[in-house]
Amino acid sequence: MNGEASLLCVNCGWRGDPEELRYTCPRCGEPLTIVYEEDYLAERARELREGRGRGVWRYSAFLPFPDDVRRVTLDEGSTPLHESKQARGLRLKNEGLNPTASFKDRGMTVAVTDALRRGASRVVCASTGNTAASVAAYAARAGMRSYVLVPSGAVARGKLAQAVAHGSKIVKIRGGFDEALREVLRLVSEDSGLYLLNSVNPYRIEGQKTLAFEVWEQLGGSVPDAVVLPVGNAGNISAIWKGFRELVEAGLARSAPRMIGVQAEGAAPLARAFEGGLSELRPVDSPQTYATAIRIGRPASWRRALMAARESRGAIISVSDQEILRAQIDLARVDGVFVEPASAAALAGYRRAIAEGLLDPGESVVAVLTGHGLKDPDAVAMFGSDEVEVEPRDLTRELSAST
Ligand code: AN7
């Protein structure tokens, strides 16, 4: 790799050289996408099929670095694809089993590798929590100083604990994620020494697209009929769609799955835009949901998310907090997989899509479970628990079969 990749603005068509670090289009402000020269992916298809090693870097043939790049890695990816006990054809991609317990690590290993390659020593992000935890860990590993901006109110406890543990400077911004992202974008435009690790960074998308390659491999070289996943800032749906499209472009898959993005009702600007057939986003000013990871009203990658849903003949839908909670409990108590609320939106969305006829029962569907349940231990308060405290001598009676 070198020279075969360029930066593309999917909105206005601007093109640039990735060696010149940019996150957004200088003409129109759209987050930039890394694209490869025609035929390049087809030429390297064999290397992708015969990839060595595991996880994200197994697919380095489709990543924009020379093969000898110094990787910053904690062995991300290679996550299990469980069959769900809840519906025939439904599989659960358990991204909570990444190094910092969310899918963000796929993008972070690639973006922090890029930061190191460019000699960056200070990295920054705005985050609802998981990006912050991942930035904190990878920056520590790379020996960089990290700054994480989080909403002052609503960050899950586990995520904050990770940022503290890894030694980030944590700045709680009064306001929500959207305000924090706006300020961090302003900050990096004024201070070229700060490397930005939000998903407007095109290297994050390159790392996260590897989920598609992994699913394809786990299904024996085929793709599912559909992928269902939670959508917040909309980087992940853009990335996974890009991965599946590249498989098709490389001649490794005949078609790509329908992409079904799921938002929480109180933070659903993309679902509204999709349902209304709109070509512009109407941001939500004070987004609300108990799935704090996706409490986002002004998704940066909104245009690419709508493109993914429309080009794939998928959809972006919304579900209530109650449906999310129900799905979270069922994932834990029926499938044995403990996820954070945002991730449960994937199962809630699957159920909605079946009910509305967007998916047929029995179709092959992968639900992306984006983050581990231990990230947000307080959410469990709403599950209802079965616990008692007893004197030691009362234990036998307490555990007798009748109770
Ligand atoms: C568990 O950490 O935005 O649509 O700052 O943590 O790519 O934003 C997290 C997002 C889904 C949505 N599931 O992904 C952040 C942040 C979980 C998440 C999403 C997030 P995007």
Question: Which residue stretches of 35-103 are H helix?
Answer: 40-43, 45-49
199 lines ligand 1 (CB under 6 A): yes
The two tokens of residue 129 are: 């929590």
Q: How far is the CA of 400 from the centre of ligand 1 (A)?
A: 44
Enumerate the β-bridge partners of residue 369. 94
Q: How far is the CA of 231 from the centre of ligand 1 (A)?
A: 7
Q: How far is the CA of 311 from the centre of ligand 1 (A)?
A: 22
110 within domain boundaries: no
246 within domain boundaries: yes
- Total tally of structural domains belonging to the chain: 1
With a CB cutoff of 8 Å and minimum separation 6, the contacts of 328 are 339, 340, 341, 343, 344, 347, 373, 379, 383
Tokens 């601007």 found at: 14
6 within domain boundaries: no
Decide: 178 and 156 in contact? Cβ < 8 Å: no
Residue 315 CB neighbours (<10 A): 23
Bridge-based pairing state of the strands 226-230 and 194-196: unpaired
Measured distance CA(297)–CA(271) in Å, rounded: 11
Measured distance CA(111)–CA(197) in Å, rounded: 7
181 lines ligand 1 (CB under 6 A): no
230 lines ligand 1 (CB under 6 A): yes
The two tokens of residue 361 are: 């029962």
Residue 319 backbone zone (phi > 0: left; psi -120 to 50: alpha; other: beta): beta
Could you give the C-alpha distances from 385 to 329, 332, 339, 352, 401, in angstroms and in order?
11, 13, 17, 27, 18
Which residue's CA is the nearest one to ligand 1's atom 18? 293
138 within domain boundaries: no
With a CB cutoff of 8 Å and minimum separation 6, the contacts of 308 are 237, 238, 240, 241, 259, 261, 314
Q: Which domain holds residue 266?
A: 81-101+204-382
Measured distance CA(142)–CA(73) in Å, rounded: 9
Decide: 205 and 238 in contact? Cβ < 8 Å: yes
Here the CATH number for the domain that contains residue 373 is 3.40.50.1100
95 within domain boundaries: yes
The atom of ligand 1 lying closest to the CA of 238 is: 7
Which residue's CA is the nearest one to ligand 1's atom 5? 127
291 within domain boundaries: yes
The two tokens of residue 271 are: 């679902």
370 lines ligand 1 (CB under 6 A): yes
90 within domain boundaries: yes
Which residue's CA is the nearest one to ligand 1's atom 10? 293
174 within domain boundaries: no
Q: How far is the CA of 389 from the centre of ligand 1 (A)?
A: 37
Bridge-based pairing state of the strands 5-8 and 15-16: antiparallel
The pTM assigned to this predicted structure is: 0.97
Tens-digit pLDDT string for the chain (403 aa):
555 899 999 999 999 999 999 999 999 999 999 999 989 999 999 999 998 999 999 999 999 999 899 999 999 999 999 999 999 999 999 999 999 999 999 999 999 999 999 999 999 999 999 999 999 999 999 999 999 999 998 899 999 999 999 999 999 999 999 999 999 999 999 988 999 999 999 999 999 999 999 999 999 999 999 999 999 999 999 999 999 999 999 999 999 999 999 999 999 999 999 999 999 999 999 999 999 999 999 999 999 999 999 999 999 999 999 999 999 999 999 999 999 999 999 999 999 999 999 999 999 999 999 999 999 999 999 999 999 999 999 999 989 876 5
